[in-house]
Structure 1
Amino acid sequence: MMERICRLAVVVALGMSVTACSMFSSDEEEVRKPKSLTEFKADVELTEVWSKGIGEGTRGSLERLVPSISGNVIYTVGADGEVTALNRETGKVLWNKELKLKVSGGITADAGLLLFGTLNGRLVALKETDGTLLWNISVSSEVISSPQTNGQIVIVQSIDDTVAAYDATDGKQLWRQENLQPALTLRGTSTPRIEGEAVFVGLSNGEAKAFRMTDGAPLWSSRVSIPKGTSELERMVDIKAQPLIVGDSIFLVSFQGNAAAMDKYSGRVKWTRELSSYKTISEGFGSLYLTDDSSYVSSLDQRSGAVSWRQDKLEYRLLTAPVTYSSYVAVGDAEGYVHLMSQVDGGLAGRYKVGGAIKAPLTVGGDYLYVLNADGKLTALKQK
């Protein structure tokens, strides 16, 4: 199914998901088929090291069940609440917990904690070593993003764009900031980014904000994109990607809007580049890598926003957010292929099929590239 209609199907109006593509007139849409794969001379070959089923996958839903790595362990959570810890080099299961929860967001492993959110607005904290439940609390609404922590404070952004902080020890709420949403938004939220004494967020109205970690005091607010057009649909400028911080710059991108660089201390806009995406940005070699709505992968110069290269041979293949792996940019697609591109010029450098649609961004740990498909199979790949 074409990228454009699929992205419209994830629109939410006042928090209610629109699931029927048929409500949009097919006469107004051009049918766009995924571009067929072509042969090329591979510079790198990937091989499977191990694979494991880790519980119910995302299947047809939009949960972002991204694994998380801590040390030599990779942690996963399935949509059914099955939490698994595996040795990331061998795939050996270290422990497994079946929590019977409807999980909607990725798991975060940090500072001895495992954190994730649920469809019914719960925030769950487990002990990293054995999965012991530490606390399970109610938050303002569904959590699709991955919670973040600095070891003392846990930050979560709910689907209603509420940003809240909780004590990492017992889950007691420390502060809460509510943000006004437009009438129409894409389903989901940005994942907060903690840096030093501040937390940075992207919002559904196209704004970026910074709050003080300790008490939630606003530090600055700046706009990435300005809504345009006459209809609510045309004016959607959601920021769904996690902010990326490199040095003193924070990088964000919005749907139907811009990629932008801002000063992380003041929010001053350094540059903007017209580009539409709701997927997380990655970086390497002084460049930013983005997957746009047409499944083009682009490289932008971090200092100026100038486009260095654009790879269009994977057009409309519903690519995941890009990640940097060795000297390559890696993405997954809806047919279960992993694609590697050169960070230097964007040329296709490698391909590997794991099977099953890949929706979650790939995860990198050292020499390993981890792929979680929609059926709940986690595969570890390595350069051959």
Structure 2
Amino acid sequence: MNSFLTLRLPLLAAGTLALALVAGCANKSEPVYTPKELQGFDESSTLDSQWKYGVGDGLGRARYPIAPARDGNMVFAADAEGYVVALNAQNGSRQWEVELDTPISSALTAIAGNVYVGSRNGEVLALSQQDGDVVWRSRVPSEVLAAPQANQELLVVQSVDGTVTALDRANGTERWVYSSSQPALTLRGTGTPQVIPPVSFVGLANGRLVTLDNRNGQPLWEMQIAVPQGRSEIDRLVDLAGQPVLTQDGRLFVSSYNGRLVALEATRGEIMWEYDHSSRHTPVLVGNFLFTVSDDSHVIALDAQTGRELWRNDDLEGRWLTSPAFVDGRLALGDYEGYLHLIGASEGDIVGRTRIHKSGISVRPVTDGKTIHVLSNNGRLETLEVNP
């Protein structure tokens, strides 16, 4: 099976259906849409390389979503075999490196002195930001692909079997577990929880959004964001594969595959507006602009108050764009051929471009001010500055 879809039917029980689904998945790791050729544009922004670093063997053949993380003046990155490195964000000098005894599969989270990673065999590890030593390690029910998410007390981990586990951030002990039903076929990957002190917002592969009480893991409310439709299991995929975006005034934005993007009132789940939209990506909110990337790699800006489409750029259609990152008035997105694109946030025009590596870019860039850290599939981590 490839990196796009995951089959959850037992082989003997599934019989002919399993074989049919496997056959239908065979080419899903390649772009479904015909990728548009890159065209010329009026370049008004340059991407100036500051430093590069080779991060082990990269994301592996399965292209695990091991996005790097930045905290303060440190950048942390890892490869699929368990190599983790800490680098100075300004000049790329190595601060430390470690070789873990477990393969890494999740994006990294760096916060409050620790770096958190998830593994293919269902482990979660906390590493010291100071020297890379393992502070604690804990077991969860299955493989972890989403970055573990923290509040002041908990580390909330969503694993591929639909389980959400809350661990004590200080020592990794289990606080509570929430389990959900999974459809027979899902996208490769899981949603990433949005965790705040009182609750966690969790998107599931069955198209539902659930709000969990962080005191005990009990659901407070849940909603069907995307409804399965169609005859085949592939047609009925409705994963909430991105991360819900929460605003300070209590609005929640949630995207879904084969579904819609909705704005909710976060305390009760009341729908404020909805927009017909299929996406596996996490949207980005900047002021009153909500930026999202559709499954066919259209980049779209919406009015966050009303859901009205403000602009759409389809110049990169079919190029398997990453989730967007915001950098100094522009959006930064990688593509399957390893190009990093800049799109102006106000008008939606391409304003800058450079190629990182032909192996492609499949994880979201990390930004800070005018700086972009981007990791290609082969492990090349490059830091660039946007000018002017």
The two structures share one fold, judged by TM-score above 0.5: yes
Q: Which residue is equivalent to 1:347?
A: 349
CA–CA separation in structure 2 for the residues paired with 1:59 and 1:258: 31
Contact 1:45–1:383 (8 Å) recurs in 2: yes
- CA 236–257 in structure 1, closer or farther in 2 if over 3 Å, else same: same
Question: Mapping of 1:19-98 within 5 angstroms?
Answer: 23-24=23-24, 32-98=33-99
Aligned length: 376
Aligned ranges for residues 97-112 of structure 1 at < 5 Å? 97-112=98-113
> Is the contact between residue 87 and residue 94 of structure 1 (CA under 8 Å) also seen in structure 2?
yes
With normalisation by structure 2, the TM-score equals: 0.92
Distance 1:127 1:142 in 2: 22
Does 2:5 match 1:11? yes
* 8 Å contact from structure 2 (residues 146, 190) kept in 1: yes
- Where do 5+ consecutive residues of structure 1 fail to align? 1-5
Q: How does 1:111-190 map to 2 (within 5 A)?
A: 111-190=112-191
User: How much does 1:307 deviate?
Assistant: 1.1
- Structure 2 CA distance, aligned partners of 1:170 and 1:83? 21
Cα contact 1:117–1:123 (8 A) shared by 2: yes
Alignment-derived partner of residue 306 in structure 2: 304
Distance 1:184 1:46 in 2: 40
Q: 1:88 to 1:170 in 2, by over 3 A?
A: same
1:281 to 257, 272, 283: 283
Tell me how far apart the structure 2 counterparts of residues 364 and 172 of structure 1 sit (CA, whole Å).
Answer: 32
1:217 deviation in Å?
2.3
Distance 1:9 1:48 in 2: 30
Q: Distance in 1 between matches of 2:233 and 2:279?
A: 18
CA distance in 1 between partners of 2:287 and 2:20 (Å): 42
- State the alpha-carbon separation in 1 of the partners of residues 322 and 95 from structure 2: 28
Give the whole-Å Cα distance in 2 for the aligned partners of 1:185 and 1:282. 24
> What is the CA-CA distance between 1:32 and the residue it aligns to?
3.9
1:369 aligns with 2:372: yes
Matched-pair contact (CA < 8 Å) for 1:157–1:192: yes
Distance between the aligned counterparts of 1:364 and 1:71, measured in 2?
12
On the 8 A contact 1:9/1:19 being kept in 2, the answer is no
What does the per-residue CA deviation read over 1:315-364, in whole Å, with 9 as the maximum and x for residues that have no partner?
A: 11111111111101110011111111111111111111111300110110
Confirm or deny: 8 A CA contact 2:3 2:62 kept in the other structure: no
Of the three residues 375, 378, 381, the one matched with 1:378 is: 381
For residue 234 of structure 1, what is the aligned residue in structure 2? 235
- What is the Cα deviation at residue 151 of structure 1? 3.6
What is the Cα-based RMSD across aligned positions, in Å? Answer: 2.3
| One-letter amino acid matched to 1:23 | A
Question: What secondary structure, in the 3-state scheme, does the structure 2 residue paired with 1:24 have?
Answer: helix
Once the two structures are TM-superposed, the CA of residue 196 in structure 1 deviates from its matched residue by 2.9
* CA–CA distance in structure 1, aligned partners of residues 197 and 383 of structure 2: 32
The verdict on how the C-alpha distance between 1:39 and 1:94 changes in structure 2, with shifts beyond 3 A counting, is: same
8 A contact 2:5–2:25 mirrored in 1: no
Q: Deviations over 1:353-384 (max 9, x none)?
A: 11130011011022210110001010000024
SS class of match (1:204): coil
Question: 1:193–1:99: structure 2 CA closer, same or farther, 3 Å change rule?
Answer: same
CA contact (8 A) 2:119 2:144 kept: yes
Q: Which amino acid aligns with 1:156?
A: V
Give 2:325's aligned amino acid: V
Q: Is the 8 A contact 2:105 2:119 kept in 1?
A: yes
Counterparts of 2:243 and 2:269, CA distance in 1: 16
1:232-271 aligned at under 5 Å gives the runs 232-247=233-248, 248-271=250-273
Structure 1 residues 31 and 294: alpha-carbon distance in aligned structure 2, compared to 1, 3 A threshold: closer
Deviation at 1:131, TM superposition (A): 1.0
User: Which shifted more, 9-18 or 205-214?
Assistant: 9-18
Helix, strand or coil: the match of 1:106? coil
The TM-score normalised by the length of structure 1 is 0.93
Hey, what does 2:294 align to over in structure 1? 292
1:9–1:20 CA contact under 8 A, matched in 2:
no
Shift of 1:285: 3.6
Deviates further, 225-234 or 308-317: 225-234
Give the Cα separation in 2 of the matches to 1:193 and 1:25. Answer: 30
Q: What is the CA distance between 1:257 and its match in structure 2?
A: 0.5
Residues 1:295 and 1:21: Cα distance change in structure 2 (over 3 Å): farther
Distance of 2:223 and 2:328 partners within structure 1: 34
- 2:14 aligns with none
Structure 2: stretches of 5+ with no match in the other structure: 12-17
Counterpart residue type for residue 189 of structure 1? T
3-state SS of paired residue (1:241): coil
Instruction: Please say if residues 108 and 146 of structure 1, whose CA atoms lie closer than 8 Å, have aligned partners that are also in contact.
Output: yes
**Where does residue 221 of structure 2 map in the other structure?**
220
1:120 to 1:262, Cα distance in 2 relative to 1, 3 A? same
CA apart distance, 1:25: 9.7
Q: Return closer, same or farther for 1:250/1:34 CA change in 2, 3 Å cut-off.
A: same
Q: Following the alignment from structure 2 to structure 1, what is the Cα–Cα distance between the partners of residues 335 and 247?
A: 27
Superposition deviation, residue 230 in structure 1: 2.4
Task: Supply the distance in 1 between the matched residues of 2:135 and 2:34 (Cα, whole angstroms).
Answer: 47
* Contact 1:111–1:151 (CA under 8 A) maintained in structure 2: no
Cα 1:9–1:78, aligned 2, differ >3 Å: closer, same or farther? closer
Whole-angstrom distance in 2 between the partners of 1:297 and 1:185: 24
Which residue identity is paired with 1:309? Answer: W
